[in-house]
Amino acid sequence: MVHLHGKEHDLGGGLFIHRILPDRTKRMVGPFTFLDHMGPLTTEPNQNTDVRPHPHIGLSTLTYLYQGRIVHRDSIGVTAEITPGEVNWMTAGKGISHSERAHETERGQARPLHGLQFWIALPDHLEDCDPSFQHYEKSQIPKIENSDFSLSLVAGQAFGLHSPVEISSPMIFADAHAKKDFTFELQIPGFEPAIYIIEGSAKTDAQDIAKFEMLVAEKDQSLSIRIKKDTHFVIVGGEPFTTPRYMWWNLVSSSKEKIEATKKLWETQQFPMVPGETEFIPLPK
């Protein structure tokens, strides 16, 4: 088991997040290469939480909110609002840029913001696919409820449920709340499973897991954890890749050369840009 502790980062303007993946001790969990936990927070009335246009290759982004709303715009012409319980799944493939901004009607107001954003690496044969975007309503996400917990299966197949979210490789993302103290057990053949604590706590025989922490099991290893009552947790995982992934800034690829080529395209603004947007995040130096 690997125990990860989310590290606090200021994304600018006082927007603080906890970054769980990548970690120096664990770069990926299955195909998941990145996890940011935003909030929970309430913005100042004039606080700027906008993320200006920036590029991606070789991955899909998965955005899932608990509070607030975000307006997504991308270089293939999609504009989509996301609210709690909905799913935005953007596939970069050979290249996409996008922005994430506050809703116009909420500017100048204090507003709540809480959610998760994942990057999921694309398998080798899909790394150069055409970019695409899918939005799923809260009502489309399957749910299960028993005496121990309630759970929404956002992506993948498990617990007798099958999410409609179109995934690129075998993986799972589920969002759950514990109704009482109980032992959660999960083993999916071929998967690296992990549990992340949004709020509350859990423990194994060897260690405690607190808010902003993740416990990752080895491939094919059973994940058995005692969850405390009222704990809000998520389960992620999937089949690990056999070829390595390189990550620089917002770019993920099995090829360092592709990353270098994309850096030059973004720097010279020859990369696909978001229609109607005049701002962009410059290439980091």
Q: What percent of the chain has pLDDT over 90?
A: 90
118 belongs to a structural domain = yes
Average pLDDT over residues 160-169: 97
Give residue 107's pLDDT: 87
Residue 49 confidence (pLDDT): 87
Percentage of residues of the chain with pLDDT beyond 70: 99
Q: pLDDT tens digits, residue range 201-227?
A: 999 988 999 999 999 999 999 989 999
Task: Please determine, for residue 16, whether its predicted confidence score (pLDDT) is greater than 90.
Answer: no
Residue 261 lies inside a defined structural domain of this protein: no
Q: Among candidates 147, 166, 282, 206, which has minimal Cα distance to 3?
A: 206
Average pLDDT of the residues in 110-139: 97
pLDDT over threshold 90, residue 130: yes
pLDDT digits (tens, 9 = 90+) for 73-96: 999 999 999 999 999 999 999 999
> Span 36-54, mean pLDDT?
92
Instruction: Supply the mean pLDDT for the chain.
Output: 95
Q: What are phi and psi of 262, to 5 degrees?
A: -70, -40
Mean pLDDT is lowest, of 8-17, 22-31, 57-66, 175-184, for 8-17
98 Cβ contact partners less than 8 Å away, ≥ 6 residues apart: 53, 54, 56, 72, 73, 74, 75, 90, 274
Mean per-residue pLDDT, 250-275: 97
Q: Are 134 and 153 in contact (CB under 8 A)?
A: no
Q: Is residue 248 part of a domain?
A: no
93-113 CB burial, b ≥16 within 10 A, e <16: bebbbbbbbbeeeeeeeebeb
Decide if 283 is inside a domain: no
The CATH number covering residue 179 comes to 2.60.120.10
Domain hosting 14: range is: 2-238
186 in a structural domain: yes
pLDDT value of position 13: 67
Classify residue 281: in a domain, yes or no. no
CA dist 255 and 228 (Å) reads 43
pLDDT surpassing 90 at residue 46: no
**Residue range 232-236: mean pLDDT, rounded:** 98
8 Å CB contact between 129 and 93: yes
Q: Return the C-alpha torsion angle 188, 25, 242, 152, nearest 10.
A: 30
81 is a domain residue: yes
Q: Residue 11 pLDDT > 80, yes or no?
A: no
Instruction: For residue 155, give the 3-state DSSP assignment.
Output: strand
**Helix, strand and coil in the chain, % to nearest 5:** 5, 50, 45
> Which of 61, 53, 51, 56 minimizes the C-alpha distance to 273?
53
Number of domains in the chain: 1
Q: Is residue 93 part of a domain?
A: yes
**CA–CA separation, 214 vs 227, rounded Å?**
13
Which pLDDT band holds residue 19 (cuts at 50, 70, 90)?
very high
